[in-house]
């Protein structure tokens, strides 16, 4: 299988090579320890299939210098896209946090890897504030009933509804083990709500904290059957100053990353007439047995989906929003030929350089790329085959920058199973190429 690395710009330091399937999961999380010696990962004895409620995985870390694996714990609360939300605690380089289930509820554990001691937190985690005092989370028991990657270990029928009254975004005090809902989903739905929101299913996804720890961005998703759409919101870390980001009516939103503390970039595809009219028609469907629901099912068949995709315009870019007088407004498009396929962006601490990936291109390869937001130049630094594309266990690269952006870790299945690769970025050479 294909693995093409431009060694002028990156150097491979470590690649997992075991009898197991190993991956980390989502981007914009701390996978490499602050000392640069340890790399977290999830380990499974199975691959290339959907996850069941009976499945468990092991959590652990590799000593990058020796290649030794160190076991932390096992969990049944995971998926192929996000793992178990395993991540280093920002305020203690010897502690990690991850999700589990106990007594038919999702929870999280903080573990000290030195002695294996564990402390249970009575609410799951999504991301942790930079000071390590709080986690920001969703109601994971809602996830199974929505698109949110189908966590299998808890299936609470209470949340099989269009809108869960107690849904929202939650702030968990990791010191006192207490939780507060900081954003109500009803408040999110009510902002600039079209009439057809009344018949849609609503949920929240993809929370991301800025580096200063005072703002969060998240996605509001809503569906009318198989079709779903996305809106983007931003608010203070306590839920105040909730703002809907303009542009959702004209664009399909996808993945995003903070660009410093007061700006972010989000991948966008401009809607064409077909998409707009199709979405409006789906919104009018009042029953799962309607004509439009049948059409909705048909356009998701492989052959017809190709036709639908070809109707999409070639206006694909990262849209950049920046705070101005307390409101986030559009300032720039990164419309580069590099970005004709969706990806998962992260930025260096100064907000200048973006590293991102792509879904498989026409050759079946995922790209790893670096982009200079000042010169608007970018380069492809690696291409890796994606043989599990379309499989329930599909593997995104999800590039994860280390502290100081010296390293980047990726998940890959170019050999036909999940494993991880750690690269060192040769910034001097990268900057010579794209920063002049």
Question: Can you point out the beta strands (E) in 145-214?
Answer: 168-173, 178-184, 201-209
Rounded-to-integer distance, Cα 115 and Cα 379, Å: 43
CA angle at residue 236 from 232 to 239, to 5 degrees?
A: 80
**Superfamily holding 3-272+312-434:** YVTN repeat-like/Quinoprotein amine dehydrogenase (2.130.10.10)
- Determine if the pTM surpasses 0.85: yes
Quote the CA–CA distance of 224 and 204 in Å, as a whole number: 15
Alpha carbon distance, N-terminus to C-terminus of the chain: 35
Distance CA 55, CA 42 (A): 13
Residues linked to residue 372 through DSSP beta bridges, in sequence order: 353, 377
Angle, CA 11 vertex, CA 7 and CA 13 arms, to 5°:
150
3-class SS at 237? coil
Please give the chain's pLDDT, 436 residues, in tens.
689 999 999 999 999 987 899 999 999 999 999 999 999 999 999 999 999 999 999 999 999 999 999 999 999 999 999 999 999 999 999 999 999 999 999 999 999 999 999 999 999 999 999 999 999 999 999 999 997 677 899 999 999 999 999 999 999 999 999 999 999 999 999 999 999 899 999 999 999 999 999 999 999 999 988 778 999 999 999 999 999 999 999 999 999 999 999 999 999 998 875 555 555 555 554 444 455 555 555 555 555 545 555 555 568 999 999 999 889 999 999 987 889 999 999 999 999 999 999 999 999 999 999 999 999 999 999 999 999 999 999 999 999 999 999 999 999 999 999 999 999 999 999 999 999 9
| Residue 361 CB partners (closer than 8 Å, separation 6+) | 341, 367
Which DSSP string do the residues of 359-397 spell out, in sequence order?
S--TTSEEEEEEEETTTTEEEEEEEEE-TTTTSTT----
The answer to whether 427 touches 434, Cβ cutoff 8 Å, is: no
| Contact partners, residue 223, CB within 8 Å, separation at least 6 | 146, 147, 200, 201, 229
Hey, what's the torsion of the CAs at 400, 382, 338, 376, to 10 degrees? 70
């Amino acid at each position: 299988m294909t693995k093409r690395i431009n060694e002028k710009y990156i150097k491979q330091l470590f690649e997992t090579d075991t009898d197991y399937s190993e991956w980390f999961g989502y981007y914009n999380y701390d996978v490499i320890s602050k000392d640069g010696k340890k790399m977290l990962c999830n380990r499974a004895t199975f691959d290339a299939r959907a996850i069941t409620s009976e499945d468990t995985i092991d959590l652990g870390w590799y000593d990058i210098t020796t290649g030794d694996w160190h076991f932390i714990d096992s969990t049944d609360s995971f998926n192929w896209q996000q793992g178990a939300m395993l991540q280093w605690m920002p305020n203690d380089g010897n502690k990690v946090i991850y999700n589990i289930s106990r007594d038919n509820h999702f929870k999280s554990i903080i573990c000290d890897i030195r002695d294996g001691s564990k402390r249970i937190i009575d609410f799951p985690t999504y991301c942790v504030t930079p000071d390590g005092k709080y986690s920001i989370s969703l109601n994971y028991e809602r996830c199974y009933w929505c698109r949110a990657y189908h966590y299998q270990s808890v299936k609470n029928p209470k949340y099989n509804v269009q809108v869960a009254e107690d849904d929202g975004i939650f702030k968990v005090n990791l010191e006192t083990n207490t939780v507060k809902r900081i954003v109500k989903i009803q408040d999110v739905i009510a902002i600039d709500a079209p009439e057809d929101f009344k018949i849609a299913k609503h949920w929240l996804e993809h929370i991301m904290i800025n580096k200063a720890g005072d703002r969060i961005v998240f996605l509001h998703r809503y569906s009318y059957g198989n079709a779903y759409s996305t809106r983007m919101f931003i608010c203070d870390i306590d839920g105040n100053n909730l703002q809907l980001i303009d542009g959702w009516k004209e664009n399909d939103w996808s993945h995003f990353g903070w660009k410093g503390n007061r700006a972010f970039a989000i991948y966008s595809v401009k809607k064409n007439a077909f998409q707009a009219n199709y979405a409006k028609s789906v919104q009018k469907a009042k029953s799962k047995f309607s004509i439009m629901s049948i059409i909705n099912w048909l356009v998701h068949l492989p052959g017809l989906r190709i036709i639908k995709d070809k109707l999409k315009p070639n206006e694909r870019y990262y849209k950049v929003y920046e705070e101005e007088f307390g409101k986030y407004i559009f300032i720039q498009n990164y419309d580069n030929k590099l970005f004709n396929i969706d990806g998962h962006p992260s930025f260096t601490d100064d907000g200048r350089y973006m590293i991102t990936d792509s879904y498989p291109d026409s050759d079946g390869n995922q790209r790893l790329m670096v982009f200079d937001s000042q010169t608007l130049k970018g380069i492809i630094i690696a291409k890796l085959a994606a043989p599990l594309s379309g499989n329930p266990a599909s593997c995104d690269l999800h590039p994860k920058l280390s502290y100081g952006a010296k390293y980047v870790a990726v998940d890959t299945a170019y050999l036909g199973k999940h494993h991880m690769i750690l690269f060192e970025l040769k910034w001097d050479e990268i900057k010579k190429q794209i920063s002049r």
